[in-house]
């Protein structure tokens, strides 16, 4: 009886066991294919990201800045979790900066500063951000971002770089006492031409024009412009005001007081403009002299004041 039961049940058991073995083989094969597919896709994605980033970087090196920005944006969209995203933002900022689109460059640098705890990248972004603010004539913000960085950085060489850049911002704004303070705060003075800059500040004696004197001289049309060395403007002011004055006089002399008054009324506008123009010319003369002095000092004494983003790009 037992033999009969075994003979009937054995084929069923054998079939079930074989079925389970086949099922396990199929399952194992599916797992292998799945893992292999993931690995291949991951490798392909990495290679694609590498190619995209390298292509965008190559465009930047070729000075095709507008196109490189587009390709970096494509990289950020396709690979949002790539570890080079902050570097992509940085290169986009540099590309905008090269095109003098400082507002867009500022946005990129702010993204880096807000997102990265890595000090080197933050320092690069802050230095570049300060350069953008200077280019936008916002010297207050240019100093502010550097001063904030100075509070959190402990490395002496970086602190020296910050003080040096702050000194140059003050020099450009004619704030020489503050500039000297920053220069004195630099610990590794051998790295920078501090003595040369301080000597230039101490012996600074620029030729300047006095705005109020230019205005007073312009009571005689053109004389204030001559004082400011703007001879063509002086000639024009003298001729225009002379003709208007002569025309008004002639009308009064010919008993046409209405026309003479009207001409005199319009003539006062030209006469006032002559005085204002002379005062403005004096201010411009002084600004040009100041800018010329700063540029001469930079070319003579400062071999390290190239914008940080240019230095960094050149070293890559």
- Domain spans of the chain? 211-301
Q: Which long-range contacts (CB under 8 A, 24 or more apart) does 115-123 make?
A: 115/86, 116/86, 118/86, 119/153, 121/86, 121/87, 121/90, 122/149, 123/149, 123/153, 123/158
pLDDT more than 90, % of the chain? 46
Give residue-wise pLDDT tens across range 152-190.
888 899 999 999 999 999 999 989 999 999 999 999 888
Alpha-carbon distance 149 to 47, whole Å? 36
3-class DSSP state of 97? helix
pTM, rounded to two decimals: 0.70
Query: What is the average pLDDT value for the chain, to the nearest integer?
Result: 82
Give residue-wise pLDDT tens across range 91-100.
999 999 999 9
């Amino acid at each position: 009886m037992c033999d009969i039961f075994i003979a009937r049940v054995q084929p069923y058991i054998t079939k079930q066991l074989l079925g389970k073995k086949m099922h396990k083989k199929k399952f194992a094969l599916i797992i292998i294919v799945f893992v292999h597919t993931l690995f291949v896709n991951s490798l392909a994605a990495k290679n694609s990201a590498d190619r995209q980033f390298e292509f965008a970087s190559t465009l930047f090196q070729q000075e095709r800045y507008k196109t490189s920005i587009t390709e970096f944006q494509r990289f950020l969209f396709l690979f949002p979790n790539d570890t080079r995203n902050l570097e992509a933002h940085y290169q986009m900022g540099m590309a905008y900066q090269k095109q003098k689109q400082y507002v867009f460059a500022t946005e990129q640098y702010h993204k880096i500063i807000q997102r990265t705890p890595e000090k080197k990248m933050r320092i690069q972004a802050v230095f570049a951000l300060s350069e953008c603010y200077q280019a936008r004539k916002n010297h207050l913000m240019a100093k502010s971002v550097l001063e904030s960085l100075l509070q959190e950085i402990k490395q002496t060489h970086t602190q020296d770089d910050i003080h040096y850049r702050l000194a140059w911002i003050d020099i450009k704004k004619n704030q020489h006492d503050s500039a000297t303070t920053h220069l004195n705060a630099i610990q590794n003075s051998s790295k920078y031409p501090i003595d040369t800059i301080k000597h230039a500040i101490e012996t600074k004696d620029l030729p300047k024009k006095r705005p109020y004197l230019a205005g007073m001289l312009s009571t005689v049309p053109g004389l204030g412009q001559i004082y400011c060395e703007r001879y063509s403007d002086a000639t024009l002011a003298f001729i225009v005001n002379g003709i208007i004055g002569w025309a008004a006089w002639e009308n009064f002399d010919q008993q046409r007081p209405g026309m003479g008054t009207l001409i005199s009324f319009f003539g006062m506008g030209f006469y006032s403009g002559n005085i204002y123009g002379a005062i403005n010319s004096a201010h411009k003369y002084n600004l040009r002299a100041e800018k010329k002095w700063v540029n001469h000092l930079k070319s003579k004494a400062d071999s390290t004041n190239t914008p940080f983003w240019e230095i960094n790009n050149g070293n890559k």
